[in-house]
Amino acid sequence: MILKVFSAILLTATSLSSLASPVFNADNGHYYELHTFTDDWRLDWVDAKSFAESLTFLGGSGYLATVTSQNEDNFLWDTLGAQGSFLGGIDTSGNETNWQWVTGEAFSYTNWVTGEPNNWQDGSTLTPNNEDYLMYWWPGNNYTGHWNDTNVDSSFMDNNQLTYTTRGFVVEYTPTATSPIVPIPHSIWLFASGILLMLKRQKNNA
């Protein structure tokens, strides 16, 4: 009977862990999920927005992450590891004067790299113009933890080589359920494994 109980604990732990991909931010009660591009799967900002909005978690629909406070900013950078990722900001003016969040929240908090947004263009006809889309920049010098504007697929020509500045995008969920899914602590696995080993030894000594 005890063996069956702890087998059930292990099975439950496995099931809950598989559901624990989105990371919970206790500061605002939201969940965040980092999606990383591969050689075979890359989305531009518009497609990433559509993809995010097709997802649901705990009753809440997904959307490209909005960053409306320093605490949220720190969480995405330090905890989620969102460096080089698309965020849910867009400039609808084309000249850096009307940045908005995809959710309609006020674009009052900002954290641009010094000199950004600057609507930089590489002059190539092979890459899109207008840097109207928001991304986290990469670590280094004064870039760490800050934002950059980029074009729709984050591409530019570098020594005649097409290069991408983003590695993925962040999906945010505002859950309608109130209980966060918490991964089973590693100590539970150790405890259950110890009980199973003890029961096995007792059976062998019987």
Packed helices 2-18 and 186-205: angle between N→C axes, nearest 10 degrees: 150
H helices, E strands: number in the chain:
4, 11
pLDDT at 100: 98
Type of residue at 123: G
Query: Residue 2: pLDDT above 60?
Result: no
| Residues present in the chain in total | 206
Per-residue CA distances from 14 to 19, 84, 186 (Å): 9, 31, 11
Which residues lie across from 176 on neighbouring strands? Answer: none
Residue 46 tokens, joined: 């518009």
**Hey, what's the torsion of the CAs at 53, 54, 60, 64, to 10 degrees?**
-30
Mean pLDDT of 95-104: 97
pLDDT cut 90: percent of the chain above it? 74
Give the residue from 142, 204, 184 showing the smallest Cα distance to 17: 184
Confidence of residue 21 (pLDDT cuts 50, 70, 90): confident
* pLDDT of 84 above 90: yes
**In the beta sheet, which residues pair with residue 38?**
41
Residue 191 has what pLDDT? 47
How high is the pLDDT of residue 81? 96
Structure-block tokens of residue 31: 């969940």
To the nearest 10°, the Cα dihedral for 61, 65, 68, 70? 130
Q: What is the pTM for the complete model shown?
A: 0.77
Token representation of residue 22: 């989105």
Write out the two tokens for 32: 């965040």
Instruction: Sketch out the chain's domains with CATH numbers.
Output: 25-177 (3.10.100.10)
- pLDDT, mean over the chain: 84
Lowest mean pLDDT among 4-18, 25-39, 55-69: 4-18
Lookup: tokens for 199: 């029961």
Helix/strand/coil percentages in the chain, nearest 5: 30, 25, 45
